[in-house]
Each structure stands twice: as structure tokens, then as C-alpha cells.
């Protein structure tokens, strides 16, 4: 049975202790979090498959997969880069459009559009007969991803009680990791499917089956979102106060007293209605901490080096002597580590807090990056010529797994959670769109430049990423306050008490809220 809702004070901040999770809220979160499957499955990708390379970019096919050889500078191809990166450009632009749709039409409408647009893109890509069709399909997939990330994260943060908001929001990232894992296994099990679409039956058509599978979660999100309610915050933005309170009671359970929480949401909604131009208002000093975090957190996430490793590791593993099946098996192993580590974060983020995970993860990633750089430097030197034994290759996989685990329980999920929970309602859609845009843009930059950077900096690239991990860990230590258990409507209290950001938050924010509560209870 749900517990009653009480008010407590922690570190001078008024906080809410929520009741137990209801079956209804769990069901709503499960459907909404499907957006993570779309992003994750696409990230699992097929760009590294040898039969894909033979079909569409034959010049990039790796003919030499021996352990001997130069590992730093591998052949590149502008067409493959375009295929890989087009989705991120489309997602970054779409997230800006999704900001308006999410605010004015509702979170559920934006999620439904995400599912159907992604489905349309997959149909084009999986049925593609030339490279142009693949890129067009990828662009639609990117638009769907942009809409999904922008709306799902806000929706999960708004409907979840504060004491489990971290876990509920991270269901999105868990689905991302599950999507990556499913894509890796789908790639593995469809590798030997012959090509019945063309005369050439030697190259295989497993990539079509692998891509087509992602149409299933896309339809589930698109259709399921049609039956999801808007969040209480979104309802109040459109003047549906009665429906908003009924929904809140249904989400929290009928035995819970939701009056206090509802009044908090009404207050934030009234403030939000005064803001007509969120993209202009987000530049005001009072929103400075939110703007900085929504810019730097996604940037830092990408400069952990996670996508450089993910994009480059197939080529690196080939150079180290992994065959096609072994390469996919190694990717599947890292996928399992990614999913399990994310579950660790979900289990502990609402008790241990956000800051400890970010700080510990940053330290662990910096050590792993430095270890990988040193390992490659010793074995291959600056020239890139050398050899690895089986135990050496196993060690490389272990180091990458330890690194992936650190990312998966820290900067992976939390870089999505924090921007969606720290921003006030009036700028929430715009701020989260900015977060998604920055993330996708720098994902694009890393995807386009990872091979060039590795060829230029050699093993030093991993030292560079290790340095970034140190910088962002120091930044979190000094500039990010702890947000666990803080109601999303009371988040300004956290910023007001921070030693640096407090000067940007107006003194009358908290008194105004208290007066509003007194008059409306």
C-alpha cells in the first residue's frame, strides 16, 4: 500500500517524502522509457559490419585483420562517416523543434511523433537499395531520436516522485543500454543471413533484418504514447487543473495526500505562464546555473571519450586480430557490462546521490583511459607497429569493460537525468532541448573526427580524454549541488543555497512560493 506523503527538512531545504510506486506509474514509465530503446538500438549500429561495407562502401572493407600492423591510422570513408553521423545532426535540429511541440502540444504528443517518425525512417533504411535511401532513412531516424530524448526525459522526471525520480528517469538510459545490447546480439545472430534482395547472394542481408527489428519498439512508443496522459505539469500549462490533480492522485495512489505536491506544481505552472519566450529568458542571470549545466554536462559526457571508444573499437579490434564474429562477441560483452552497470546506478542513485556517482565515475574513467593509453604505447609505440598476444587482447577488453562500467553508472545516465530535473518549468523544454542539441552535436563531432584524432594523437588521444575526465570531475565537485530527493518544483532552493550559484537566484523566489502555498491550501 502507498505511504502517506510527509514534509521533511534536509540541509535547510524543504523536501517531500513520496509514497510507494503505483502499478499505474510503473506502467506509464515503462511505455515512455521505450524512447531509450530507439536511441540505444541505433547506437548499436551496423556500420562496422563487413557485409554492410561490401554492399555500400566497399573501399572501407578491412582486408587485413592480422595482429601485426599500424593500428593508429586506418582507412576512412566520407560516405560511411555521413551514414554514421547524419542521425546526430538530424537529432540535434529536431530537438529544438521538439522543444516547442513538447511545451505547447504535450509530452505525450512529442513521444508519439518520435515513435512514428523513427518507424518511418527504419522502413526506408531497412528497405534501402542505394546509399541515398540509407542516408534519408537515417535522417528520419535522427528526427525520431531527437523528439524521443527531448520529451521522454522531461516526462519521466515530471511524473516520478522525488524520492525515486533518479531511478525512474534512468529507466531511459537502461533502455538505451538494452537497445545497444539487443543491436549487438541482433547483428551477431543475423550475420550469416544471405541476401535475397539482390543477385549477389554472397554479401548477406542480415543488416536489413537487424535494422528492421527496431521498428518494434518504435511502434510500441508511437502507439503507446497515444494512450499515455500528459504529465501534471504539462496539463496545468494548458489550464487542465482538474485533470492534473486526478492524474497526480492516480500516479501517487489514492491513499496519498497530494494537495501539497499539487500546490507546488500549480505555483511553478503560474510562474511558467509568465514566460512567453523561454529561449530568450534562459539567457537571464536567474537561469545562469541551469544554462551552464545544460551546456557543459552534455559536452563533458561526450569528452569522456565514450563514443570515440565505441566508434573506434571495432576498427581497433580488427587491427588487433579479432575476426567478424569475435568482434561482435566483444561488442556484446561490453553491452552486457553497460546494461548491468546502469542497473547499479538505478538501484543506488536515489540513496547515494548524483554527485558521488559522477565523481567516482570520473576518477575511474580517467584511470582507465590512462591505462589504455599506456598499454597501447608500450605495445605499439609511436609507430603503431607491434603485436599482441591473446592475453594482451583479453587485457584490452577488460580495460574497456571497466571503463564502460564507470561511464554506465555515472556520466551515461546522469548526464540525461540532471538537465531534466534541475530546470524550472518555464524553461524546462528549452533547456532540455539545448542539452540534447549539444549532446548530439558533439556526438557528431566525435563520430566524424575520432579516426583522424587517433591517427594524429595516437595513444595520446586516450591521455587527452583522461585529462577531460579529471577536469569535469573537479567541476562537479565544486559547482554541482546534490539534487537527490529534492522535489522538482523546489529545485531553486538548492541553487539558492549553493556557494557560487546562489548569487544568481533572486531572493524572493522562496518567499513567493511560501506565500502562494499559504493562500491556496
Which three-class secondary structure string do you get for 445-482?
Answer: HHHHHHHHHHHHHCCHHHHHHHHHHHHHHHHHHHHCCC
In this prediction, residue 7 carries a pLDDT of 42
Number of domains making up the chain: 1
Report H helices in 257-353.
Answer: 259-273, 278-281, 288-302, 306-319, 324-352
In this prediction, residue 503 carries a pLDDT of 93
Whether 183 is in a domain gets the answer yes
For residues 79 and 502, what is the distance between their CA atoms, to the nearest angstrom? Answer: 49
Whether 294 is in a domain gets the answer yes
CATH number at residue 214: 1.20.1250.20
Burial of 367 (0-12, 13-18, 19+ CB in 10 A): middle
In this prediction, residue 135 carries a pLDDT of 84
What is the per-residue burial (b if ≥16 Cβ within 10 Å, else e) of 140-150? bbbbbbbbbbb
In this prediction, residue 265 carries a pLDDT of 87
Whether 303 is in a domain gets the answer yes
Between the CA of residue 23 and those of 26, 259, 317, what are the distances in Å? 5, 21, 44
Please tell me the pTM assigned to this model: 0.86
174 lies in which domain range?
Answer: 23-65+73-228+275-486
For residues 211 and 62, what is the distance between their CA atoms, to the nearest angstrom? Answer: 22
Whether 452 is in a domain gets the answer yes
Between the CA of residue 315 and those of 72, 180, 325, 508, what are the distances in Å? 10, 18, 14, 56
Tell me if 485 sits within 8 A of 162, measured CB to CB: yes
Whether 47 is in a domain gets the answer yes
Q: Which of 234, 46, 159, 103 is nearest to 421 (CA)?
A: 159
DSSP label at residue 68? S
Whether 211 is in a domain gets the answer yes
For residues 120 and 97, what is the distance between their CA atoms, to the nearest angstrom? Answer: 18
For the chain, first and last CA: distance in Å? 26
In this prediction, residue 450 carries a pLDDT of 78
Tell me if 107 sits within 8 A of 237, measured CB to CB: no
In this prediction, residue 479 carries a pLDDT of 97
Tell me if 504 sits within 8 A of 286, measured CB to CB: yes
In this prediction, residue 130 carries a pLDDT of 77
In this prediction, residue 465 carries a pLDDT of 95
Whether 493 is in a domain gets the answer no
Q: Label the pairing between strands 6-10 and 13-17.
A: antiparallel
8 bridge partner residues: 15
In this prediction, residue 191 carries a pLDDT of 67
Report H helices in 45-130.
Answer: 50-56, 78-104, 107-126
In this prediction, residue 327 carries a pLDDT of 65
**Which residues of the chain fall short of a pLDDT of 70?**
1-20, 44-71, 74-81, 191-205, 255, 311-330, 508-521
In this prediction, residue 17 carries a pLDDT of 46
Residues 3-47: pLDDT tens digits? 434 344 344 444 444 556 788 999 999 999 999 999 988 876 554
Whether 1 is in a domain gets the answer no
Amino acid at each position: 500500500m502507498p505511504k502517506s506523503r510527509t514534509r521533511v527538512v534536509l540541509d535547510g531545504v524543504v523536501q517531500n517524502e513520496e509514497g510507494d510506486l503505483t502499478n499505474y506509474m510503473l506502467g506509464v514509465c515503462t511505455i515512455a522509457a521505450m524512447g531509450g530503446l530507439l536511441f540505444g538500438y541505433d547506437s548499436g549500429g551496423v556500420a562496422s559490419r563487413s557485409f554492410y561495407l561490401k554492399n555500400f562502401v566497399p573501399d572501407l572493407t578491412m582486408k587485413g585483420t592480422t595482429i601485426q600492423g599500424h593500428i593508429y591510422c586506418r582507412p576512412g570513408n566520407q560516405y560511411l562517416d555521413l551514414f554514421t553521423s547524419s542521425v546526430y545532426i538530424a537529432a540535434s535540429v529536431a530537438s529544438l523543434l521538439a522543444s516547442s511541440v513538447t511545451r505547447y502540444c504535450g509530452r505525450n504528443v512529442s513521444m508519439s511523433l518520435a515513435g512514428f517518425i523513427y518507424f518511418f525512417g527504419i522502413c526506408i533504411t531497412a528497405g534501402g537499395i542505394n546509399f541515398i535511401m540509407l542516408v534519408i532513412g537515417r535522417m528520419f531516424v535522427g528526427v525520431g531520436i531527437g523528439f524521443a530524448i527531448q520529451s521522454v526525459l522531461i516526462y519521466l522526471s515530471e511524473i516520478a516522485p522525488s524520492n525515486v525520480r533518479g531511478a525512474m528517469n534512468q529507466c531511459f538510459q537502461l533502455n538505451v543500454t538494452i537497445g545497444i545490447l539487443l543491436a549487438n546480439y541482433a547483428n551477431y545472430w543475423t550475420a550469416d543471413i544471405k541476401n535475397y534482395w539482390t543477385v549477389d547472394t554472397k554479401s548477406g542481408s542480415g543488416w536489413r533484418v537487424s535494422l528492421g527489428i527496431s521498428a518494434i519498439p518504435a511502434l510500441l512508443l508511437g502507439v503507446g504514447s497515444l494512450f499515455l496522459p500528459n504529465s501534471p505539469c504539462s496539463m496545468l500549462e494548458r489550464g487542465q487543473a482538474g485533470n492534473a490533480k486526478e492524474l497526480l492522485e492516480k500516479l501517487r495512489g489514492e491513499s496519498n495526500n497530494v494537495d501539497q505536491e499539487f500546490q507546488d506544481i500549480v505555483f511553478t505552472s503560474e510562474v511558467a505562464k509568465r514566460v512567453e519566450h523561454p529561449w530568450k529568458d534562459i539567457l537571464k542571470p536567474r537561469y545562469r546555473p541551469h544554462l551552464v549545466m545544460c551546456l557543459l554536462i552534455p559536452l563533458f559526457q561526450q569528452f569522456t571519450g565514450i563514443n570515440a571508444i565505441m566508434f573506434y573499437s571495432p576498427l581497433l579490434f580488427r587491427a588487433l586480430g579479432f575476426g567478424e564474429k569475435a568482434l561482435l562477441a566483444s561488442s556484446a560483452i561490453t553491452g552486457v557490462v553497460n546494461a548491468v552497470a546502469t542497473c547499479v546506478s538505478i538501484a543506488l542513485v536515489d540513496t547515494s546521490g548524483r554527485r558521488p556517482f559522477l565523481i567516482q565515475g570520473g576518477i575511474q574513467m580517467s584511470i582507465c583511459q590512462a591505462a589504455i593509453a599506456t598499454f597501447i604505447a608500450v605495445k605499439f609505440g609511436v609507430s603503431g607497429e607491434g603485436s599482441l598476444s591473446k592475453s594482451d587482447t583479453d587485457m584490452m577488453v577488460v580495460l574497456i569493460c571497466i571503463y564502460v562500467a564507470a561511464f554506465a553508472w555515472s556520466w551515461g545516465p546522469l548526464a540525461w537525468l540532471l538537465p531534466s530535473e534541475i530546470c524550472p518549468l518555464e524553461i524546462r523544454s528549452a533547456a532540455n532541448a539545448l542539452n540534447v542539441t549539444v549532446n548530439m552535436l558533439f556526438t557528431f563531432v566525435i563520430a566524424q573526427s575520432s579516426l583522424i584524432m587517433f591517427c594524429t594523437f595516437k595513444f595520446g588521444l586516450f591521455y587527452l580524454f583522461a585529462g577531460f575526465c579529471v577536469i569535469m570531475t573537479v567541476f562537479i565537485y565544486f559547482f554541482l549541488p546534490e539534487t537527490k530527493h529534492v522535489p522538482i518544483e523546489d529545485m531553486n532552493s538548492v541553487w539558492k543555497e549553493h556557494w557560487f550559484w546562489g548569487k544568481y537566484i533572486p531572493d524572493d523566489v522562496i518567499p513567493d512560493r511560501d506565500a502562494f502555498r499559504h493562500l491556496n491550501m
